[in-house]
A and B are shown apart, each in its own frame.
Chain A
Amino acid sequence: DIQMTQSPSSLWASVGDRVKITCRASQTITTYLNWYQQKPGKSPRLLIFEASNLQSGVPSRFSGSGSGTDFTLTISSLQPEDFASYFCQQTYSSPSTFGQGSKLQIK
Chain B
Amino acid sequence: QVQLQESGPGLVKPSETLALTCTVSGGSISLGGYYWGWVRQHPEKGLEWIGYIYYTGENFYNPSLKSRVSISGDKSKNQVSLRLRSVTAADTAVYYCARASVGGASPFDTWGQGTRVTVSS
A binds B: yes
Proximity bits, A43-54, B CB within 8 Å = 1, else 0: 111100111000
Across the interface, do A98 and B112 meet the contact criterion of CB distance under 8 Å?
A: no
A98 neighbours in B (Cβ, 8 Å): 46-49
Q: How many B residues face the partner with a CB closer than 8 A?
A: 21
Interface residues of A (CB under 8 A from B): 31-34, 36, 42-46, 49-51, 55, 87, 89, 91, 94-101
By secondary structure, the A interface counts as loop
Across the interface, do B106 and A94 meet the contact criterion of CB distance under 8 Å?
A: no
Which residues of chain B from 74 to 121 have any CB-CB distance to chain A below 8 Å in the complex? Answer: 96, 98, 104-109, 111-114
Across the interface, do B104 and A50 meet the contact criterion of CB distance under 8 Å?
A: yes
Across the interface, do B111 and A43 meet the contact criterion of CB distance under 8 Å?
A: yes
Given pairs A87-B47, A91-B107, 13 additional interface contacts (CB within 8 A) = A33-B105, A36-B47, A36-B108, A43-B96, A43-B114, A44-B47, A44-B96, A49-B109, A91-B105, A95-B64, A97-B49, A98-B48, A100-B45
A44 neighbours in B (Cβ, 8 Å): 47, 96, 108, 111
Q: B9 to chain A: closest CB distance in Å?
A: 20
In the complex, A101 Cα to B46 Cα: how many Å?
6
In the complex, A97 Cα to B111 Cα: how many Å?
17
Across the interface, do B46 and A46 meet the contact criterion of CB distance under 8 Å?
A: no
Proximity bits, B52-79, A CB within 8 Å = 1, else 0: 0000000010111000000000000000
Interface residues of B (CB under 8 A from A): 45-49, 60, 62-64, 96, 98, 104-109, 111-114
Task: List 8 interface pairs A-B (beta carbons < 8 Å), by A numbering.
Answer: A34-B105, A43-B113, A44-B47, A89-B47, A89-B107, A91-B105, A94-B60, A96-B106
Q: Which listed residue, A43, A50, A87, A97, touches B105 by the CB 8 Å rule?
A: A50
B63 neighbours in A (Cβ, 8 Å): 94-95
A101 neighbours in B (Cβ, 8 Å): 46
In the complex, A42 Cα to B60 Cα: how many Å?
26
In the complex, A50 Cα to B109 Cα: how many Å?
12
B105 neighbours in A (Cβ, 8 Å): 31-34, 49-51, 91
Across the interface, do A46 and B109 meet the contact criterion of CB distance under 8 Å?
A: yes
